[in-house]
Structure 1
Amino acid sequence: MSTLPNFSQALTQLIASPSISSTQPSWDQGNLKVIQLLATWFEQLGFSIDIQQVPSPHQSSANKYNLLAKLGSGEGGLLLAGHSDTVPFDEKRWQSDPMGLVDKDDKFYGLGTCDMKGFFAFILQACKGLDVKHMKKPLYVLATADEETTMAGARFFSQSQAVKPDVAIIGEPTNLVPVVMHKGHMSHRISVEGQSGHSSKPNLGVNAIEIMYQIIGELISLKEKFNLNYNNEAFDVPAPTLNMGAIKGGDNANRICGHCDLDIDLRSLPGMSDDELLHWLSETLKPLAEKHPGRISFEELHPSSPSFEQEKNAHDNQCLVSIAEEISGHSCCAVNYATEAPFIQQLGCQTIVLGPGSIDQAHQPNEFLAHSEIDKTNVLLVNMIQRYCLN
């Protein structure tokens, strides 16, 4: 048996294994090297290993895999989950090689240190010394593909219903504060088909930009309706949000614009369905669609991610929310970003998002994980494993 790496050695190897997922084919990569690395380590600790290829029809690469490692036997238990991919990076904005771990100023710098390859290095250390003979329930470790784009790995895993843990912890960077609620996410492209022509004769064409201008006005009114009709004070942004993120149309100043696209991002509150948001959007665009028949359409850019909420059961002495608050020393909270939690929750288990590092570092140049997170995270994971697998 080869010697298992310590925390910094494991993190170094994980960061050095590129696994970028992107909707842009030039950036998109497979994650098999990371999965194989994790499989080798956890197999040495006595885990059984299951690697499955993830269907990824919208990606340029089919080289996408999930890993499920299992230690112990029986029903229930604890699932520790995270994604193995990272976002792309702008090397010019980094002060070091994003794919090389740098230990400086009591911080580990590198792409994925906190979002979220570091979590697997923590799990590995917490599992050293675990004796399967004393385990009453199993421990699972799940590493997924493509969380940063389609969440294809988590979707595929939830559909397979391969395991039924009692509880699941997704180790996204939350500063070790238990997250029990987050918004959903969906993105659509609104398209306007006009009629191009010479700019000197505007009556002979239909300017798609002018129609899109009217659409934008309606969308701004829709944002105001969201603020009036929906509110959840658990969030620091209490209403659903609508963001107009990208627009493209036309080709030259002296031509009537024949086509225009607007990409929008919608984030729903827990309790709101995709259908409800789409109804609002459809009703908003309906008068303009009737005014300009056949010219306005919209399509989904990516599969939507549901909102998430894990309720606290004060009468359950194994309530994950209560135990997470007790062990972490933090009260639970809500966040505005989306995670894999709603898909993992579909396994029928109590689910929270709880991990080391700050979300402020995620997707940023010079991403880092502070040394101060190491002992706290190790204590938390060891306590969770003790509570749900050994007691």
Structure 2
Amino acid sequence: MNKQNKHLPNFTQAISQLIALPSISSSQASWDQSNQAVINLLSAWFETLGFTITIQAVPGVKGKYNMLAKLGSGHGGLLLAGHSDTVPFDENRWLSDPLQINHKDDKLFGLGTCDMKGFFAFILQACQQLDIALLKKPLYVLATADEETTMAGARFFADSDMIKPDVAVIGEPTNLVPVIMHKGHMSHKISIKGQAGHSSKPANGINAIEIMHQVISELFKLREKLNLSYQNEAFDVQTPTMNLGAIHGGDNANRICGHCELDIDMRSLPGMKDQELVSWLSKALQPIAEKYPARLTITELDPSSPSFQQTPESELVLTAEKFSGHSCCAVNYATEAPFIQQLGCQTIVMGPGSIDQAHQPNEYLADSEIIKTEQLLAQLIQHYCF
């Protein structure tokens, strides 16, 4: 059995080095960054441990890469997966440097500590304790790109059909509770093209805000219909949701509004198809589109992420419940799980830290998570690979 490898960092050193390498994913080009430095660091670490490394350039997104590390040979095995990017941050809202680990009050503060660069630091420590000669099935480590925006890395990896593990664990922050179900997510922009004019002569223009008012009324009706028709008691928010997130229109009080845009998101329950939601949205707004020809358009903001569900009686779920000491649950947010599940493996989401800390200033990972996570990963690797 291996001791701490003198060429590799311990847990605190590893998470510090990962946090220090910015890898922000953002739909705003001024914030968006490459994750190449993080991928290169992870590759070097796992290659030192004897893993075979494959790096994929993710098409359609500049400077974004996936890394697959493989230890052992044969079929099946365990995949430990996560994303290498983080959300943007407002440094003025942080009490410490987001890109430097600050160990205070029994917590490790830093951008990505729980969501989710810290998971890779845990994997690195667990792998240093393996007796590689006794491996019976392969162990895979996957680091993806752009989870926080397009999920382009996970989408591309799922389509590449490189591996077929028996089981996969995605280490998003769940307080080590096995997550077996989550909602889907899609976002759309509804645009209204009006006709500007002087406000003193309303009949000479077409007010885009007034048309958008009609649109919003129909969206409320659709939301109510979905809430009455679909429920799942596994979720704390038991219905599909629709959020009216941003609206922009007009330029001055004395002008007829010539253009208005509304950004919405919808979160589907497992069993609901993305194309069904899009169809319902289009049908709800069709009467308005016909009333105002060529003035209403619906466009996708980001590629949709489907809902996810793993059978509660699956062997992986039962094993994860046993090892973690927690019963499985459902969550409202979206992850890469539906794409990883496309590999044909039993899939769960389970990792250290709380989702309440994710995407927040002063994100942290509690010290109390460290020993529990190391033990859980060791049990999973032993169970599925030895």
Equivalents in 2 of 1:275, 1:64: separation in Å?
28
- For 1:89-108, list aligned pairs within 5 A: 89-108=89-108
Decide which of 19, 36, 57 is 1:53's aligned counterpart: 57
The farther-off stretch of 136-145 and 304-313 is 304-313
Shift of residue 129, structure 1, vs aligned partner: 2.5
Residue in structure 2 matched with residue 388 of structure 1 by the alignment: 384
Residue in structure 2 matched with residue 288 of structure 1 by the alignment: 288
Q: Secondary structure at the match of 1:212?
A: helix
Shift of residue 287, structure 1, vs aligned partner: 1.4
Q: Secondary structure at the match of 2:228?
A: helix
Shift of residue 2, structure 1, vs aligned partner: 5.6
- For 1:67-146, list aligned pairs within 5 A: 67-146=67-146
Equivalents in 2 of 1:120, 1:24: separation in Å?
27
Once the two structures are superposed, residues 5-61 of structure 1 have per-residue CA deviations (whole angstroms, 9 ceiling, x without a partner) of 00000000000000000000000000000001101111111111111110134xxxx
Residue in structure 1 matched with residue 307 of structure 2 by the alignment: 307
Aligned amino acid, residue 366 of structure 1: N
Residue in structure 2 matched with residue 10 of structure 1 by the alignment: 14
User: Deviating runs (4+, > 4 A) in structure 1?
Assistant: none
Aligned amino acid, residue 38 of structure 1: L
Once the two structures are superposed, residues 66-100 of structure 1 have per-residue CA deviations (whole angstroms, 9 ceiling, x without a partner) of 00000000000000000000000011100000001
Residue in structure 2 matched with residue 363 of structure 1 by the alignment: 359
Asked if 2 retains the 8 angstrom alpha-carbon contact of 1:184 and 1:270, the reply is yes
Equivalents in 1 of 2:130, 2:69: separation in Å?
14
Q: Secondary structure at the match of 1:266?
A: strand
Q: Secondary structure at the match of 1:223?
A: helix
Once the two structures are superposed, residues 225-270 of structure 1 have per-residue CA deviations (whole angstroms, 9 ceiling, x without a partner) of 1110000000000100000001111111111110100000000000
Equivalents in 1 of 2:227, 2:145: separation in Å?
35
Equivalents in 2 of 1:285, 1:139: separation in Å?
49
Decide which of 351, 357, 369 is 2:347's aligned counterpart: 351
In structure 1, runs of 5+ residues without a counterpart are none
Equivalents in 1 of 2:322, 2:114: separation in Å?
23
Equivalents in 2 of 1:336, 1:109: separation in Å?
25
Q: Secondary structure at the match of 2:356?
A: helix
In structure 2, runs of 5+ residues without a counterpart are none
Asked if 1 retains the 8 angstrom alpha-carbon contact of 2:312 and 2:328, the reply is no
Equivalents in 1 of 2:18, 2:338: separation in Å?
26
Q: Does 1:33 align with 2:31?
A: no
Equivalents in 2 of 1:102, 1:292: separation in Å?
57
Equivalents in 2 of 1:335, 1:159: separation in Å?
25
Once the two structures are superposed, residues 263-306 of structure 1 have per-residue CA deviations (whole angstroms, 9 ceiling, x without a partner) of 00000000000111012111110111121121111010111000
Residue in structure 2 matched with residue 338 of structure 1 by the alignment: 334
Asked if 1 retains the 8 angstrom alpha-carbon contact of 2:172 and 2:350, the reply is yes
Aligned amino acid, residue 379 of structure 2: N
Q: Secondary structure at the match of 2:15?
A: helix
Equivalents in 1 of 2:72, 2:294: separation in Å?
59
Equivalents in 2 of 1:297, 1:200: separation in Å?
28
Shift of residue 220, structure 1, vs aligned partner: 1.1
Equivalents in 1 of 2:239, 2:325: separation in Å?
28
Q: Return the TM-score normalized by structure 2.
A: 0.98
Asked if 2 retains the 8 angstrom alpha-carbon contact of 1:51 and 1:67, the reply is yes
Aligned amino acid, residue 359 of structure 2: H
Asked if 1 retains the 8 angstrom alpha-carbon contact of 2:75 and 2:137, the reply is yes
Aligned amino acid, residue 377 of structure 2: L
Asked if 1 retains the 8 angstrom alpha-carbon contact of 2:310 and 2:348, the reply is yes
Q: Does 1:22 align with 2:26?
A: yes
Q: Secondary structure at the match of 2:56?
A: strand
Q: Return the TM-score normalized by structure 1.
A: 0.97
Aligned amino acid, residue 162 of structure 2: A
Equivalents in 2 of 1:56, 1:148: separation in Å?
16
Aligned amino acid, residue 56 of structure 1: G
Q: Secondary structure at the match of 1:374?
A: helix
Equivalents in 2 of 1:66, 1:291: separation in Å?
47
Equivalents in 1 of 2:319, 2:129: separation in Å?
23
Asked if 1 retains the 8 angstrom alpha-carbon contact of 2:136 and 2:385, the reply is yes
Aligned amino acid, residue 354 of structure 1: M
Asked if 1 retains the 8 angstrom alpha-carbon contact of 2:194 and 2:208, the reply is yes
Residue in structure 2 matched with residue 178 of structure 1 by the alignment: 178
Equivalents in 1 of 2:130, 2:375: separation in Å?
14
- State the identity %: 72
Asked if 2 retains the 8 angstrom alpha-carbon contact of 1:56 and 1:64, the reply is no
